[in-house]
Chains A and B, each alone.
Chain A
Amino acid sequence: MALSKEVYQAFEDVVGPEFICDDPAIMPSYHKTEFAAVILPENTAQVQSIIRLCNRFKLEFRPVCTGWTGTFKPGVLYIDLRRMNKIIEINEKNMYAVVEPYVITAQLQAELMKRGFHLNVKGAGVNCSAMLRGHGHLDQSTSGDDRNHLAIEWVTPAGELVHSGSLGSAGEWFCGDGPGPSLRSILTSAVPPGVTPGVFTKAALKIYHWPGPTKFPVIGTSPNYELSEIPPNFMARYFSFPSVEQAWAAENKIGEAELAMELMGFNVAMVAANISTSNEEEEATFKRLSKEVLGPGFFVIIAGNSAADFAYKKRALFHIVEAAGGQSLKSLENPRTEGILLCQCIRVSASIRETFRPGGMFKSIPVMGQRDLTIKWAIGAGKAKSPLIEAGHIVDDGGASFGWGVEQGHVGKTEIFCKFDPMNPVAKEAVQKWYDEQSARAYKENYFALLMPGHPEDIGKSLSNYHVWWNAIQKELDPNRVSPEAGALV
């Protein structure tokens, strides 16, 4: 597993002795994997040199940003991109920002807000790399998936430096497509089971108008942060409905009317997680809120460009909700809670309290695509959680799924997960069974195919044999097979 002295020295010559380590003591902190070594490049040139060496020595590598999650095989070179953490450019006139991989969303978001902009925040949280592909709370108004990337600086698995789009031809970052067919077809970042091979060393991202303050007026001490005031022309509300159908009808109309900065279709279990500072408080809050709601619902943030715009959005929003038989959850209307939710959903992106805090682990089935269709599937997946809840294997969240419209409801994202204690083998097994059964049902009933490791060969056949094409592309790009596919690298 270990690198020979000569090979290690070659890598050390690139980054210096301080920035490479193969000591077994550090490996538990790197995904509990025995890597050949961990290396910390400082810039694109070093990344390129490292990858060329990997090709020379036929050594597999994996680049990682903040490294929240990931599955890795032993013996590969772990390229920790932590030192590549610069914001290269914020172009206000042309509405994009250029970042290195270890700029986290919270950093870029804060810089953007000072300038009247913000960006799509991935569900993994603002603690993760800003340049990731993904979905999140603000998708309704800031798009998602692979659609926010513009030009990308990419070191291919063979060690070639490629500048996509306008960067390659004109030295500017504003466009990632062309000349001719777009390299964005493959420069899509991280989605299991595959990621673009090679390393993204810089990426330009679309940014969006931010009608709010240059910074949120956060007061208090952790974990009791709140806003001293609700920013002008902002409002956050939770609406519940008697049925899923009615909730969906309202969600769709809100999208069509382009009202929401955020529309997050989560149930009160996730609301409770966000506004609570401990597990005990969360459980109690969930029980309390569950009694107040009509049924399923969603959380909405509206933000006006002006008082008139805000008044219009508010009026139309309440009209739609009322017409669909919904109502606002009164106990969340007080400004303190409203402020906490605004901050949680925009500045924090919620996810840690929602996912890891209860039991330490969650297992999720995320689906990108057609919102109404995936909601239909998720109802069944939610019901299938009931026995696990009753047995005490997973956290009681009322069988919730969650999701939202992307790009004012044009497309959507739906997700459902089980939160559990990973140290409990019975729970772990039960969750895995649920996961396998529900993803199999989705496939069998033609809802979607979950492309997780282990499945592509079978599933690929029924999806235009995409895996064959993808493997062919990988082979072309990575003749020495040094850039293996693996899990996400948020």
Chain B
Amino acid sequence: MELTALKNAMGPERVICDPSMLERYAADISFVNRVRPVSLVAPKTAAEVQSLLKFANETKTPLVPVSSGAPHFRGDTVPGVGGALVVDLSGMKQIMMVDRERRVAMCEPGVTFAELIPAVKKAGLRLNMPLLPRQTKSVIGSILEREPLVMPKYQWDISDPLACTEIHFGNGEVFRTGQAAGPGTIAQQRAIGGVQKAPYGPGTASWHRLIQGAQGTMGIVTWMSMRCEILPSLEEPFFVGSSRLDELLELTHWLVRMGLVNECFILNRTNLAAIFDDDANSRSLRDTLPQWALFYTVAGYEYFPEERVSSHLVSVTEISQRLGLEAARTAGRISAREMLKTVQEPSADPYWKLRPKGACQDVFFLTLQEKISGQIAAMTELAEARGYAATDLGVYIQPIVQGTSLHCEFSLFYDAANKGERERIRDMTGAATREMMARGGFFSRPYGEEARAILNRDAGTVAVLNAFRKIFDPNNLMNPGKVCF
């Protein structure tokens, strides 16, 4: 590859070709093939991203955009082809805007949850978060991946909280989505009181939806604005523990449907223990926990918060009693208050998914209320048939998009150093994906080795996506080999 031009443009020290550095990007915790990139550049500005795209198009060099720091889990940042240049955006750390009145913030791709949370909190705002992202996780990366959010009430649309974004398409053209598109520059928009909030457009299309879920195959995002929620003035968190998942799901349905709760999700005891495992005693902690724990929060805001909370609790109690369920302030030794505090921040280090056994492979999909119990039973059977103890299987159930579906995530914790176990998990991941698809699971975010099998089920969508991709990235430079490209 001809890197001279790039070195000339960026400065030689910015183009990293040190094998030990590149090795970090050659693989991750997933099972995708190891492919070492040929170089690495960490742009600091949109102009530098432009230079990279220009270079890539001139030299037909594949680009792999990365915004979060290691460890990576899903194979999407490992080059899918040889000769690739990694574009590491984790150094783009600017938080450009936090606007309390319009409930919106804007930042660059390198900004992590740990960095953005305090900034928006200072203004009286909060983010609708994924469940306990790792410390290094980029906010923009998470949003682009359409990660499930812990407050389904505030996820009106699966694209939330994305407001507007600036993307440099594979062919080097710059595009701003939504309200940010114009008229006027961002500065001119601000001058008349405009913020970059409304996501739709410009024109008929909702362009941001094409960028999300693309795993960097359409272009490189250099900033994004995201909607924020008001910071509650009062929060009352609760657990409901039960061995009867169906009843918890029914309760969850009503809590979300009636808009009574903010944070709301279900974990099995393995996951809950993993989150609070601060020593080697996870088994003893797990033994104190209910088989399934629904966690939810009732909140009050600026006006009469106590009255709001108590009025919501009237409905919550009525529904719970109808179902024979009872809310509690603890689940085993874990207090609901502690849980709330925990899920409003990123995971403490080490990342909670790595705590039980050092490695973890997730199998996740979207599904329906009426199907999930059967899918979990099938997964348990599948795991046990392969010698994986069902008690080691983590399960996370997240109602999404105001209750229109459930995100179901199986976490297969394992010891990466044990080659046999790793292979077994790899085999299980494939088998579980196939089994869940057969049982109606929808793998809306296809990663890694299973992506092809997932996409093969929908030739119609794949054909249209490929037609679009040719437009935005005619030279097939953006993260080739991912999704269906």
Contacts and interface: CB of A to CB of B under 8 A. Distances in A.
Question: CB atoms of A and B under 8 A apart anywhere in the complex?
Answer: yes
A467 B182 contact: no
Interface string B458-472: 101101110110111
A31 interface: no
Interface string A467-490: 101101100110000000000000
A163 interface: yes
Interface string B203-230: 1111111111111011000000001001
A313 to B, nearest CB: 8
Given A185-B205, A446-B183, A305 B442 contact: no
Given A174-B368, A368-B200, A256 B302 contact: yes
Given A95-B257, A164-B461, A182-B210, A206 B204 contact: no
A165 B445 CA distance: 11
Contacts of B307: 311-312, 315-316
Contacts of B217: 181
A444 to B, nearest CB: 8
A326 interface: no
Contacts of B463: 160, 162
A411 B197 contact: yes
B205 to A, nearest CB: 5
Contacts of B464: 156, 162, 183, 477
Contacts of A304: 311
B183 A443 contact: yes
Contacts of A469: 175, 205, 207, 471-472
B271 to A, nearest CB: 23
What bracket does the count of chain B residues touching chain A fall in?
35 or more
Contacts of B146: 177-178
A209 interface: yes
Nearest to B401: A206
Interface string B193-207: 111011111111111
Given A168-B460, A206-B404, A181 B483 contact: yes
Contacts of A370: 102, 179, 194-195, 197-198
Nearest to A195: B204
B14 interface: no
A94 B468 contact: no
A60 B260 CA distance: 49
Interface string A176-189: 11111111111010
A58 to B, nearest CB: 20
B404 A96 contact: yes
B13 interface: no
Contacts of A445: 192
B374 interface: no
A175 B443 CA distance: 11
Interface in B258-301: 258-260, 301
Contacts of B444: 165-166, 175, 177-179
A182 B189 contact: no
Given A168-B458, A370-B197, A446 B192 contact: yes
A209 B259 contact: yes
Interface string B78-106: 00000000000000000000000111000
Contacts of B103: 256, 409-410
Interface string B12-54: 0000000000000000000000000000000000000000000
Contact of A315 (B200, B206, B304, B369): B304
Nearest to B306: A312
B74 interface: no
Contact of A476 (B204, B302, B470): B470
Interface in B426-479: 437, 440-446, 451, 454-455, 457-458, 460-461, 463-465, 467-468, 470-472
A160 B458 CA distance: 13
Nearest to B314: A308
A78 B434 CA distance: 44
B218 A181 contact: yes
Given A177-B213, A209-B259, A146 B206 contact: yes
Interface stretch (B60-68, B152-160, B338-346, B417-425): B152-160
A466 interface: yes
B382 interface: no
A147 B301 CA distance: 26
A320 interface: yes
Contacts of A456: 203
B258 A305 contact: yes
B2 interface: no
B381 interface: no
Contacts of A165: 442, 444, 461
Given A174-B405, A309-B315, A466-B202, A182 B209 contact: yes
B264 to A, nearest CB: 14
A464 interface: yes
A312 B311 contact: yes
A446 B194 contact: yes
Given A186-B204, A447-B192, 19 more contacts: A168-B458, A175-B442, A177-B213, A178-B146, A178-B444, A179-B443, A179-B451, A181-B483, A184-B206, A185-B210, A209-B257, A257-B303, A315-B304, A319-B303, A373-B195, A376-B193, A410-B227, A469-B471, A470-B205
14 contacts: A147-B157, A170-B442, A174-B404, A178-B213, A179-B483, A180-B461, A180-B484, A182-B159, A191-B204, A206-B402, A446-B184, A446-B194, A463-B181, A466-B202
The 9 closest A-B pairs by CB, nearest first: A178-B444, A446-B184, A168-B458, A194-B204, A185-B209, A185-B210, A308-B311, A166-B442, A182-B209
Interface of B: 101-103, 146, 156-159, 173-177, 179, 181-184, 188-189, 191-195, 197-215, 217-218, 227, 230, 253, 257-260, 301-304, 307-308, 310-312, 314-315, 318, 366, 368-370, 401-405, 437, 440-446, 451, 454-455, 457-458, 460-461, 463-465, 467-468, 470-472, 483-484
